[in-house]
Amino acid sequence: MTGSMEGTRDTNTRQRLERCRRALEKNHFEVYLAAHCAEAREITLEKIFPPIGAKSVSWGDSLTLYATGVLDMLKERPGLEVIETFSESLSRETILSRRREALGVDLFLTGTNAVTETGKLVNLDMVGNRVSAITFGPKHVVLYIGRNKIVPNVAAGIERIRKVAAPRNALRHHHLQTPCQETSCCTDCDSPDRICNTWCITEKSYPRGRIKVVLINREEGL
């Protein structure tokens, strides 16, 4: 690719992120733009975390969140209660109990499966703890979103999740057995381990600013 083509592509990507940002803000989300994961971490620690004054934090599964390193920093904060709901050393019963507890935290961190250029979030959950927390419970929610998650509209988001994100996500969960782990295609299965159970479309943040979005100008997550 020539330098001028790369420049045009970069400009187009930035314009797309800006459009997405404006649409999200119009829908009452608080939005930050980050060039990369390290900047997303700085924004969290310097701009988002201090005014919230969170005493408790938890999170929902998100490769993009993990890539930012935010969790590692927060885990080291003295006086901050961190509710861990994913450790393999915990029993299933304890994990579920902690996930219920996590719905009452001051700050919940996670990602989203898709965000539209019209400023809406589209998510699909297996257990529901992530979409529950995005919807209601934690006082503040922060979502980390790579540019690859931006889609034109809700229909395109649903299609991307079904065809791309969900089969890839199933591959991450080795203890589960779904047909898409073999074929990489969604067959709308009836497996007991099906990871696609609850759709959630968030049209606006309520109350205004409760959901904060960090748009990252990198390909991150599935």
User: What does the binding site for ligand SF4 look like in residue numbers (CB under 6 A)?
Assistant: 166-167, 170, 178-180, 186-189, 191, 194-196
Cβ proximity to ligand SF4: between 68 and 178 the closer is: 178
Bond prior to 51 in cis (omega within 30° of 0): no
Answer yes or no: are the C-beta atoms of 220 and 63 closer than 8 Å.
yes
Cβ proximity to ligand SF4: between 139 and 162 the closer is: 162
Cβ proximity to ligand SF4: between 153 and 191 the closer is: 191
Answer yes or no: are the C-beta atoms of 215 and 21 closer than 8 Å.
yes
At closest approach, how far in Å is the CB of 200 from ligand SF4? 15
Query: How would you class 31 by CB atoms within 10 Å of its CB: exposed for 0-12, middle for 13-18, buried for 19 or more?
Result: buried
At closest approach, how far in Å is the CB of 27 from ligand SF4? 28
For 59, the token pair is: 């999170």
At closest approach, how far in Å is the CB of 182 from ligand SF4? 10
Alpha carbons 198 and 186: distance in angstroms, whole number? 15
Cβ proximity to ligand SF4: between 57 and 196 the closer is: 196
At closest approach, how far in Å is the CB of 26 from ligand SF4? 32
Query: Which stretch of DSSP H or E encloses residue 212?
Result: strand 211-216
